[in-house]
Structure 1
C-alpha cells in the first residue's frame, strides 16, 4: 500500500512539474504571444493618463458594408476570436476586436478606476476613430456585461447586440460576502496553472475538459511566471470589483436594440463561489435557467440554447454557435 501511495505521489508531482514546464513566460503586454491577425494600437486619454489600446481590425474578403465588434471576457483577450473572425470575414463582415485596457496587449495601469462606462467610452472612441458609423456588438463573458453597457449608452450606433454566455445575469453581491480589492488581489497572487485549470474545469466547462481549452488556461498561467505578475494580478482584482459592484442585470429591460442570447447550458460560471456554502453555491451560475430568465427581461430578445456546452460555445461548440450567429445577423 505504501509503495502504491508513493507511486501516486510521484506521478502527481511529475504531472504538475510537467505542466509548469510546458508554460511559456509571457510578457506583460504579450509582446511574445502572436495574435492570429495583425495588431494595431491607439492611444486612449482617460483619467489624466494616456494608455495604449490594442486591437485587430480585419476587413472582409467581399465586404457587405457591415461591421461586428467582438468583446472578450475577463480571463481572455482578442486572440480567442480567431475562428469567429475567419468565418465572419468570409461572410462579408468587417471585424473589430479590441483588447480592453488592462487586458491582452493593452496597457496595464498601476492606478485606474475601472468601470463598464469607461470601457464602453474607450471602445466607442476606437470605433469612431476607424470611421465606423454603425455596428453589431458581440460580447462574451465579461464582454457581455460591457456589450450591454455599450448598447445602453450608445443605442444609435448599435445595430444589434449579441450576448454569448455573458456573466452578470444575476447579482452575485446578494449572495457572496464582501471581498475587497485587496482580497481579490491576494487571491490572484496565488494562482498557477493547476488552480486556473481547476477553476475553468469546474465553472466554465462544468466538469468537462479537453486540450482545446488548455491554450487559454496556459495563457493566463504564463503571466504568473513574469516578475511583473503582481501588476497583472492588481488589474484583475480591480476588474473583479468592477464586475461585482456594477451589475447590468437590472437594466436589461432598458435595452432598445434587437438582442440575441447564445447560451451554453452546461455553464456554471459565477464569481465568488469559493466564498459561500455548498448550498448557496448550488444556486449560482445556472445558465440553463439564467438564459431563459434574461431573454424574458430584454424587450426584443431571441434565445438560442446550446445543450451540453459550457462557458465558451465559440470554442467548444463552434458549428452550433456560428450557425445561430449567422442566422441572426442575416435577418
Structure 2
C-alpha cells in the first residue's frame, strides 16, 4: 500500500466553470427539455438506456463522450455522481479526461436527475450497481476505470466488489460509507421522516448544506448553477416523487455501509478525500455529542487505506467534500498522475 498527501497549490482560487459564470439564483424552472423531471441542459448529448427493473420500465440517462482522434485512446472511464449532484456536475472532469484520450461515460442513477423516478422501487447499492453494469454492457463496455464521488464513491466501491473483473482501476473521492453511523450513535430516521425533510428543500437550504460541507464556507458564485440544477428537480414535473426517491436513497446510504468489505477490493485504487470534509448521513438528526464523532474524513480514509490492498491515498489540504468542483486543477492533476503512474 502507498500513501502520500498532495501539496499541489492552485495558482488561482478563481477557477470558474464555463457553465457557472453567471450567478443567477432566480433561474427559471424550465431551462431546457424536461427529461424525467429535470430540465437542466447537460454539457454533452444525453442518451437513455431503457430497461426493466423490479417489473418497471425505466430509463437511465447518460453521456457517452468520445476522445478526439488526434489523441491516443487511453481507455474508458465511468463516472458516478454524488447524492446532491448529477452526471452533468462532472463537466470539467469529463472535458479534461476526454482531452487526455479517455472515453467517458457519466451516468445518472435511477431516482436522480434525468433518469426515471420510480414509484415503489427498492433502492439498494447492489441494485444500482446492477443497473449500471447492465447499461455499460449494453454499449459494449465490459471493462472500465471506475470513478465515483460521495454516494457515487460508495456505489463505486459496491460495484467493484460485485464486478471485480469488469473494473480495471478504481478512483473514489470522499466516498460515503466509510463509517457505520448507526453504530456510532446516530438514530435511525424513517423514510417518512426523510420525505418531510426532502419536501421542504429550498434553494437557500441546499446552498447552505453544500456551503457547509462541500465547500467549507468558501463559496464561489460559480457553484450556484449546481444548486439551481438540483432545486429545479424538486420544483419540476416529478418533484414530489423525486423528493420521495431522495428519502429512499438516504435510507439506502444509512443502512448499507460498505466499510466492512473494503479488504475484498482487488484492483488498484485511488482514495481521495478533502482534509476539511465532515460530511455524514445523520449529522442533522444526531445529538451534538455524536455529531462531533462523525465525518472525520482524513482519519476514516487512513483506516480504509490500511485495509485496501494496492491503494493510494491522497488527502487534499484545506478542501471540503467536492474537490472536482472547488479545486478542479488540483483534482485533475492528481488523477492524471495516478493514471499515468
TM-score of the superposed pair, with normalisation by structure 2 = 0.88
Equivalences for 1:18-167 in 2 at 5 Å?
Answer: 22-25=26-29, 27=34, 29-30=36-37, 32-61=39-68, 62-167=71-176
Equivalences for 1:196-211 in 2 at 5 Å?
Answer: 196-211=206-221
Contact 1:138–1:144 (8 Å) recurs in 2: yes
Q: Which residue of 2 aligns with 1:11?
A: none
**Corresponding position: 1:290 with 2:300:** yes
The whole-number CA distance in structure 2 between the counterparts of 1:80 and 1:32 is 14
What is the Cα deviation at residue 158 of structure 1?
0.5
The whole-number CA distance in structure 2 between the counterparts of 1:109 and 1:228 is 10
**Corresponding position: 1:173 with 2:182:** yes
The whole-number CA distance in structure 1 between the counterparts of 2:299 and 2:335 is 21
**Are the structure 2 counterparts of residues 212 and 297 from structure 1 closer, same or farther at C-alpha, using a change threshold of 3 Å?**
farther
Equivalences for 1:259-278 in 2 at 5 Å?
Answer: 259-278=269-288
What is the Cα deviation at residue 274 of structure 1?
1.2
**Corresponding position: 1:329 with 2:336:** no
The whole-number CA distance in structure 1 between the counterparts of 2:268 and 2:181 is 26
Residue aligned with 2:225, SS: helix
The whole-number CA distance in structure 1 between the counterparts of 2:82 and 2:48 is 20
Greater radius of gyration (CA): 1
Residue aligned with 2:77, SS: strand
Q: Which residue of 2 aligns with 1:317?
A: 327
Q: How many residue pairs are counted as aligned between the two chains?
A: 313
Contact 2:276–2:318 (8 Å) recurs in 1: yes
Structure 1 runs not aligned, ≥5 long: 1-18
The whole-number CA distance in structure 1 between the counterparts of 2:39 and 2:96 is 26
C-alpha distance after superposition, 1:240-278 (max 9, x if no partner): 011011110111111111110111111111111111222
282-291 or 316-325, which deviates more? 282-291
Instruction: Write 1 or 2 for the structure with the bigger share of helix.
Output: 1
What is the Cα deviation at residue 30 of structure 1?
5.0
Contact 1:42–1:126 (8 Å) recurs in 2: yes
The whole-number CA distance in structure 2 between the counterparts of 1:218 and 1:279 is 33
The whole-number CA distance in structure 2 between the counterparts of 1:299 and 1:232 is 38
What is the Cα deviation at residue 227 of structure 1?
5.6
Q: Which has the higher contact order (CA 8 A, sep 6+)?
A: 2
Structure 2 runs not aligned, ≥5 long: 1-22
The whole-number CA distance in structure 1 between the counterparts of 2:136 and 2:201 is 35
What is the Cα deviation at residue 72 of structure 1?
0.4
TM-score of the superposed pair, with normalisation by structure 1 = 0.90
What is the Cα deviation at residue 171 of structure 1?
0.9
**Are the structure 2 counterparts of residues 204 and 21 from structure 1 closer, same or farther at C-alpha, using a change threshold of 3 Å?**
closer
